[in-house]
């Protein structure tokens, strides 16, 4: 079996969004991801590319809009990609800022091991976004 001969340190993650401006306000403005560019989607709409460390977050706003939404619900209520993790150094301050701005907080910052803290919030489309902070 041939394995993937990867060329990058990160991954590109595509999220089909229902409201591009709300998603940009969350990922670009609230989280501070830098804009790498945008381009048309095949079939109509726009892909906004944002940089998160060595990874790229692709916010895809199709036109016409998607005909169905992801199942939503609790973190482990359905199979498939249910969350992704962003490593940070300021988890408590970040989650407090997001909560003050109205972002739904699923898990407040908590220790999960002697060397790690996590928190989970929901983005504008209800996707779970986990933050991980490693302790020294």
> What are the tens digits of pLDDT across the range 111-133?
999 999 999 999 999 999 999 99
Query: What pTM was computed for the model?
Result: 0.93
pLDDT at 8: 86
Asked if residue 49 has pLDDT above 90, the reply is yes
pLDDT at 19: 96
Q: Which helix (H) or strand (E) holds 129?
A: strand 128-134
Given phi > 0 = left and psi -120 to 50 = alpha, else beta, which region is 43?
left
- Give the total number of structural domains in the chain: 2
pLDDT at 27: 98
pLDDT at 71: 86
Average pLDDT, the chain: 95
Classify residue 4: in a domain, yes or no: no
Asked if residue 1 has pLDDT above 90, the reply is yes
Strands (E), 26-115: 34-40, 45-52, 55-62, 83-87, 105-113
pLDDT at 34: 97
CATH assignment at residue 56: 3.10.180.10
Asked if residue 72 has pLDDT above 90, the reply is no
Contact 23, 65 (CB under 8 A): no
111-119 own/partner pairs: CB under 8 Å, 24+ apart: 117/91, 117/92, 118/91, 119/91, 119/94, 119/95
Query: Do both 106 and 132 map to the same domain?
Result: yes
The residue-averaged pLDDT of 100-110 equals 97
Query: Do both 90 and 49 map to the same domain?
Result: no
Query: Do both 60 and 108 map to the same domain?
Result: no
Asked if residue 88 has pLDDT above 90, the reply is yes
Classify residue 128: in a domain, yes or no: yes
Higher pLDDT, 9 or 102: 102
The residue-averaged pLDDT of 63-73 equals 89
């Amino acid at each position: 079996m041939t394995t993937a001969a990867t060329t990058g340190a990160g991954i590109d993650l595509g999220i089909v969004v229902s409201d591009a401006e709300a998603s940009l306000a969350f990922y670009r403005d609230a989280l501070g991801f830098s804009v790498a560019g945008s381009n048309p989607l095949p079939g109509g709409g726009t892909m906004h590319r944002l940089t998160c460390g060595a990874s790229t977050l692709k916010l895809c706003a199709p036109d016409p809009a998607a005909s169905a939404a992801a199942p939503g619900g609790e973190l482990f209520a359905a199979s498939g990609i249910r969350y992704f993790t962003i490593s940070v150094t300021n988890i408590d301050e970040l989650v407090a800022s997001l909560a003050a701005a109205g972002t739904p907080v699923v898990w407040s910052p908590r220790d999960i091991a002697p060397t790690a803290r996590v928190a989970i919030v929901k983005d504008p489309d209800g996707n779970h976004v986990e933050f991980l902070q490693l302790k020294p």
